[in-house]
Amino acid sequence: MYPHERSLVKQLSDKPFALIGINSDRELEQIRATVKEKNLNWRSFWNGPEGTGGPISAQWNVTGWPTIYILDEQGVIRYKNARGADMDRALTKLLGEMGHPVEIAHEAEGDQ
């Protein structure tokens, strides 16, 4: 997961695109360390000390992790749980609709 997300954020840094996380780890200090250590390059809401039982995932009725929503520039939900190549295709389409043709390709990178 991490390499794909890191790669997307890097590749689309000059496009109208953002990857926003909702992190459900209980220990804030610990996840901060992980972000630094694994060079996670996206911003996340923190779901609070209740972890997966936190308020954001509850409101969004999230029962499995990871759960992915893809929103267009109007904030409209356009895709759910599109991962990997499906996510790449979805982003290519949505950015294309906005007049930003992109070609997404990922370099091989060991997961960590």
Partner 1 sequence: MTQELTPKIELHRVGSPPRHRPVSRWSISRWQITLATLFVICCGVTAPSWSQEARTWTDASGKFSVEATIKELKRDSVVLVLADGTERTVALDQLSDADRRYAADYRKTMLAENAAKKKAAAESKQRGEDLKDELQAILESFSQREEQLKQSGTDAAQIRNARQPLVQETSQQLLKLVEAVPQSEVARDVYIWVVGNGAQGAEATTAIEALVQHFADSPEILPFIGLIARDLAMLEKLQSKAKDKAVKGVATFTLARQLSGADNPEFEERVVKLLKEVISKYADVSDSARRPIGPQAERLLFAVENLSIGKVAPDIIGSDLDGVAFKLSDYRGKVVVLDFWGDW
Catalog residues that contact partner 1 under the rule CB under 8 A.
1, 5, 8, 15-25, 28, 30-32, 34-35, 42-46, 51-52, 56-62, 65-80, 87, 91, 94-95, 98
Among residues 58 and 85, whose Cβ is nearest to partner 1? 58
Chain CA centroid to CA 88, Å:
12
Least Å from the CB of residue 107 to partner 1: 19
The 10 Å Cβ neighbour count of residue 88 is 20
Among residues 28 and 85, whose Cβ is nearest to partner 1? 28
Structure tokens at 86: 């499906």
- Between helices 84-97 and 2-11, what is the axis angle to 10°? 20
